[in-house]
Amino acid sequence: MSSEIVRLKNAVSNQDHATGPSTAVVTLLEYGNFECIHCGQTNSVIKQIRKLLSNDLRFVFRHFATVQTHPHSVRAAEAAEAAGAQEKFWEMHDELFAHQRALTDRDLLGYAKRIGLDVDRFSREMSENVFLPQVETGYRQSLFDEHITGTPTLYLNDIRYTGATHLQALLEAIKQSDPQDRIRLPTKGSLLRKAVSKLRQGTGV
């Protein structure tokens, strides 16, 4: 098994979509695709982790929309960017992952209405492909700079993570990436399960 360390070349900047404080001890970055089922599963795990770790974690999402394998992924990414232009990227992000099998333009318009966007502006920008160049540029950078080949691809503090994406494995990897040893996790599996159960009851996950 290779132990090669792969580092993020394009550092996180204020151009990225990030949630959580910039002072967080760990930054989890995902190259994802709204139509990728594995990304949807990983998103559910990340939502739980974000609630559990609160201000100790910053989460960054970058598009890797591959239309050859996921024909609706580019339009979904455009919709997320259109929502982001109205400061509702994360609301659209959550809608898209919650409805991965319904990503037609009509569906996207419905999500825009649901999260309270200016629908006329959203429709116009989508019809004019205003954000397509941005999505395509991000794809090229992902492919040629970072050598991303599939989704989800994760980085922890700029180091590519290649382990499992289930809750306990990802939590432990985040803990190991904490340079200040600030993150505290439940020490026993039963405690972790109780914590996750509470999270699920609170979020409907």
**Do 58 and 21 contact (CB within 8 A), yes or no?**
yes
pLDDT at 77: 98
For residue 17, give the nearest of 85, 112, 65 by alpha carbon.
85
**Do 25 and 56 contact (CB within 8 A), yes or no?**
yes
**Between 103 and 204, where is the model more confident?**
103
CATH number assigned to the domain with residue range 17-70+132-203, chosen from the 4 options 3.40.50.300, 3.40.50.10740, 3.30.70.141, 3.40.30.10: 3.40.30.10
Confidence check: pLDDT of 21 > 80: yes
Residues 6+ apart with CB under 8 A from 51: 199, 202, 203
pLDDT at 205: 42
HSE (side-chain half, CA atoms, 13 Å) at 63: 32
Q: Are strands 57-63 and 26-32 parallel, antiparallel or unpaired?
A: parallel
Confidence check: pLDDT of 192 > 90: no
